[in-house]
Amino acid sequence: MTAVRKATMNDDVSRGIGRRTLLTLSTAGLAALATACSTRLGGAATSEPVPAPAVAVGAGDSASPGGAAPLCVLVPETGEGPYYVPDAQIRSHIVEDRKGVPLRLDLTVVSTAHGCRPMSNVAVDVWQADALGRYSADGKTFLRGTQVTDAAGKLTFRTIVPGWYAHVAPHVHFKVRPDAHTQSSSQLFLPEELLLSVFAREPYSRREAPAHPNTRDDRFEAKGRSLTLRPVVDGAGYRASFVVGIA
C-alpha cells in the first residue's frame, strides 16, 4: 500500500497529470442531454430520512444570471491530492466499517467529442474522508473503490457523506481513466445546507463543525460550485447523480 502523508494547503491543486477536459452537465441541461445521449439517471437506497434541502437529482447548477443554463460547462481539474492510492478494489460498496449518513452516487461518463455518447469500459476511482475527516491508510481500504462503466456509461458507488478536515470543503475525489494513457481527476461537493444538517448527527457531531464548511475554502469558491451535487433524500441518506463528459 502506498504511504499516505498529511495534507498541505496546496495539495489538492498540485499534481499535474495527463488530461482530458472534464465537463459537468447543468441541471437545466439534463433533459437535453437525455435526448442527445439516450441516458437516464436514477437509483435507490436505505432507512430513516434525514432532513435535506429540496433539490433535484443532477449535476451542479451552472445557470447564467439572466437565463437558462448551458448544456455543458467546462470545469477545471482539481488534481488528485495526497491521498490517492492506485489499484483500489473493484467494488460499488466502499463504506466497510465506517459510520455515517449513506450517500449513493450514480455517475455517467459520456464522450462530448461524439455527441455526448455514453462511454463503456471506463474506469472511475473514488476516494474520500470518513465522518471524522480521516482517509484510509496503512493497509486499510475504507472509502476507496473503482468501478467500470457499463454499456450505458453508468456506474454506482455506495458511500457516506464525507466529513471535513483542515481548511477544505468536504468532497469526494474521483479519477476518470478512459484508457491506460489518459486520466483526469476532480472532486464532487455537497450543498452547504445539507452538510450542516448531516454534521449535527452522529458520528459527525463528535467534533464541532465549521459554520461554513464549503465557503470557508477559497478553492471551493473558485471552482467548486459547478462540481456541487444536487442530492435528494433517499431512505436514511441521500442519492445524487452526476454526468462527466470527456472531450
Which pLDDT tens digit goes with each residue over 2-48?
443 333 333 443 333 344 555 544 333 333 443 444 333 333 333 33
Q: Which of 42-46, 105-109, 114-118, 158-162 has the lowest average pLDDT?
A: 42-46
> If 0-12 CB within 10 Å is exposed, 13-18 middle and 19+ buried, where does residue 135 land?
buried
Instruction: Return the number of other C-beta atoms located less than 10 Å from residue 191's C-beta.
Output: 19
- Mean pLDDT, rounded, for 64-93: 66
Residue 185, SS3 per DSSP: strand
- 34-43 burial, b at 16+ Cβ within 10 Å, e below that, comes to eeebebebeb
Spatial CA neighbour of 26 closest among 61, 78, 54 = 61
**Pair 116, 36: CB distance under 8 Å:** yes
* Pairwise CA distance, residues 219 & 227, whole Å: 12
* Pairwise CA distance, residues 169 & 161, whole Å: 12
For the chain, domain boundaries? 17-36+49-62+72-246
pLDDT of residue 71: 41
* Pairwise CA distance, residues 244 & 110, whole Å: 6
Domain 17-36+49-62+72-246 superfamily per CATH? Aromatic compound dioxygenase (2.60.130.10)
**Pair 77, 84: CB distance under 8 Å:** no
